[in-house]
C-alpha cells in the first residue's frame, strides 16, 4: 500500500517536473506544440468598434474618445459592444532607442495609457493593432523579433485585444509567427483577445483554435452587396462574396474560437436593406461584430440595425453554432442556425434586384444540420415565427411562411415554442 502510494507520488512528481521543464523551454523557444491561449475569453463572438473601415490611418485621441462616448450615449454598449480597437496608423514611424513602439505624438499627445484609462473608465475595453512582419500594411513598425517587448508594452497600456496582421512577412510561416505572438501575450499574464488577420491564406481555422480567439477568413471587406473592388495587387470583397468564401468552414467555429469574415460595413454607404442583410448574415454566421462606421454621426436607421438585441442574440447565442445555407432557390438564400434553447434562427436573403415573394413550405424544406447533428423537428410541434427586425410574430409553422422581400433585403426570424 505504502509502496503504491509512494510510487504514485513519485510518478506525479516526475510528471510535474517534465511538464514544468517543457513549459519553461517552450516559452524560450515558442514551440508551436505548446501554444495555448486564455480559454476564458470570447465565449461568444467579440463585439466592438475598429477604426479602419471608416478612418484608415486618420485617427487621433479626440476621435477615439468621441467614439467611446457614443458607445454609451447611443446604446451600443448596452447592446453588447465592448472593444474599441485602434487599427493601423497609431504609431510613430520609428521605434525609440530602447526599441519600444511609440504612439504618434501628434495623434495621441496624451499617450495610449491615458486613452486606455479613458476607455476603461467607461466600462469598455481597449484593443490595438500590429503586424507579424517588419512593417504593418500601412508601413509602420511591425512586431517581427519584437514580439515579447511589444506584448509587455501592450500589457502596460492595459490592452485587452490584439489584432495581428500579415503584411511584410517575407518568408515567415503563419503558424510559427502567430504562435510566437500568442505566447508573448500569454507571458504578460494580461488577458487579451488574439485576433489573427492573415486573410485565410493558410487556412487558420485548421490550426489557430488553440492560440487565437478569432481569425480572418478572407481578404478585406468592401461596402457593397456583391462586388469585387480591385486594387493594384489585391481585391476587397462585397458582403455576398465574403459570405460565399466563408460558408464551408463552419465546423471550425465555436465558443472561444471564431471564423471572422471581417469587420462590419453597416452605416458605410450601402442601402438600409443591404445593411440589414449584412448584419443579419454576420449574426447568423456567429461572426465577431466589430463595427466600422463613424458611430458619432450615425443615422437612426444604422443605430437601430446595429443595436437590435433580438438579432444580436442570434450572434451571441451560447451554443455558438455558425449557420449553414440550407437552400438557395429563386434568388432567395435560406440560412439556418440552431440555438442553445432549442429554438432556431432562419434568415431569408433576397440576393436579386427584384422584390421576391417567399412561400416557404416547411414539410418540403426540412432543416437538417449535418455538421453538428441538429434537426428542426416540426412533427407534432407548432412553432411561432418571430420577425426579429420588426419584432412581431408573423405566423406559425403549421402554415407556409409567406412574405415579400425587397431587393437585397432580408427576413430574419426566430422559431419559438408555442403552446398551441
Contact positions vs ligand GLA (CB under 6 A): 52, 87-88, 129, 136-138, 165, 197, 220
Residues 6+ apart with CB under 8 A from 400: 359, 360, 361, 362
Which residue number, 215 or 324, has a Cβ lying nearer to ligand GLA? 215
Torsion region of 324: left, alpha or beta (phi above 0 gives left; psi -120 to 50 gives alpha): beta
- Number of Cβ atoms within 10 Å of the Cβ of 132: 26
Q: How far is CA 147 from the centre of its chain?
A: 23
C-alpha cell at 374: 441538429
Which residue number, 32 or 217, has a Cβ lying nearer to ligand GLA? 217
- Collapse the DSSP code of 311 into the 3-class scheme (helix H, G, I; strand E, B; otherwise coil) and give the result: helix
Using the structure block, give the residue that is written with the C-alpha cell 454621426: 297
- Minimal CB distance to ligand GLA: which residue? 137
CB of 50 to ligand GLA, least distance (A): 8
Burial of 266 (0-12, 13-18, 19+ CB in 10 A): buried
Which residue number, 74 or 260, has a Cβ lying nearer to ligand GLA? 260
Q: Which of 260, 408, 399, 397 is nearest to 322 (CA)?
A: 260
Q: Which of 163, 89, 159, 155 is nearest to 124 (CA)?
A: 159
Q: Which pairing describes strands 235-237 and 228-230: parallel, antiparallel, or unpaired?
A: antiparallel
C-alpha cell at 189: 499574464
Which residue number, 89 or 320, has a Cβ lying nearer to ligand GLA? 89
C-alpha cell at 354: 427584384
Question: Which residues are identified as catalytic?
Answer: 165, 220
CB of 88 to ligand GLA, least distance (A): 3
Which residue number, 133 or 320, has a Cβ lying nearer to ligand GLA? 133
Amino acid at each position: 500500500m505504502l509502496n503504491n502510494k509512494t510510487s504514485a507520488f513519485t510518478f506525479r512528481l516526475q510528471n510535474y517536473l517534465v511538464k514544468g521543464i517543457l513549459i519553461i523551454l517552450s516559452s524560450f523557444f515558442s514551440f508551436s506544440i505548446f501554444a495555448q491561449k486564455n480559454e476564458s475569453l470570447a465565449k461568444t463572438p467579440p463585439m466592438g468598434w475598429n477604426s479602419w473601415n471608416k478612418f484608415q490611418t486618420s485617427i487621433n485621441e479626440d476621435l477615439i474618445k468621441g467614439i467611446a462616448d457614443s458607445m454609451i450615449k447611443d446604446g451600443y454598449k448596452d447592446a453588447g459592444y465592448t472593444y474599441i480597437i485602434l487599427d493601423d496608423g497609431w504609431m510613430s514611424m520609428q521605434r525609440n532607442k530602447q526599441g519600444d513602439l511609440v504612439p504618434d505624438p501628434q495623434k495621441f499627445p496624451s499617450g495610449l495609457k491615458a486613452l486606455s484609462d479613458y476607455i476603461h473608465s467607461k466600462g469598455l475595453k481597449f484593443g490595438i493593432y500590429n503586424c507579424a512582419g517588419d512593417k504593418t500594411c500601412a508601413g509602420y513598425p511591425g512586431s517581427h523579433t519584437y514580439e515579447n517587448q511589444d506584448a509587455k508594452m501592450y500589457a502596460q497600456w492595459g490592452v485587452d485585444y490584439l489584432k495581428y496582421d500579415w503584411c511584410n512577412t517575407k518568408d515567415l510561416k503563419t503558424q510559427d509567427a502567430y504562435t510566437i505572438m500568442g505566447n508573448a501575450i500569454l507571458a504578460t499574464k494580461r488577458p487579451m483577445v488574439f485576433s489573427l488577420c492573415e486573410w485565410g491564406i493558410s487556412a487558420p481555422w485548421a490550426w489557430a483554435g488553440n492560440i487565437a480567439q478569432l481569425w480572418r477568413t478572407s481578404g478585406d471587406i468592401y461596402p457593397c452587396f456583391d462586388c469585387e473592388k480591385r486594387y493594384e495587387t489585391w481585391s476587397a470583397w462585397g458582403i455576398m462574396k465574403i459570405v460565399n468564401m466563408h460558408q464551408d468552414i463552419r465546423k471550425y467555429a465555436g465558443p472561444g474560437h471564431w471564423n471572422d469574415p471581417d469587420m462590419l460595413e453597416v452605416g458605410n454607404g450601402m442601402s438600409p436593406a443591404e445593411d440589414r442583410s449584412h448584419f443579419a448574415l454576420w449574426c447568423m454566421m456567429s461572426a465577431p461584430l466589430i463595427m466600422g462606421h463613424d458611430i458619432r454621426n450615425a443615422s437612426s436607421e444604422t443605430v437601430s440595425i446595429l443595436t437590435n438585441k433580438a438579432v444580436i442574440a442570434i450572434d451571441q447565442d451560447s451554443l455558438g453554432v455558425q449557420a449553414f445555407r440550407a437552400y438557395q432557390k429563386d434568388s432567395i438564400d435560406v440560412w439556418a442556425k440552431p440555438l442553445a434553447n432549442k429554438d432556431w434562427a432562419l434568415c431569408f436573403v433576397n440576393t436579386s434586384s427584384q422584390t421576391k415573394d417567399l412561400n416557404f413550405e416547411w414539410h418540403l424544406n426540412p432543416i437538417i444540420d449535418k455538421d453538428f447533428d441538429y434537426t428542426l423537428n416540426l412533427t407534432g410541434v407548432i412553432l411561432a415565427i418571430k420577425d426579429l427586425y420588426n419584432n412581431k410574430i408573423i405566423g406559425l409553422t403549421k402554415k407556409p411562411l409567406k412574405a415579400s422581400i425587397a431587393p437585397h433585403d432580408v427576413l430574419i426570424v426566430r422559431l419559438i415554442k408555442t403552446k398551441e
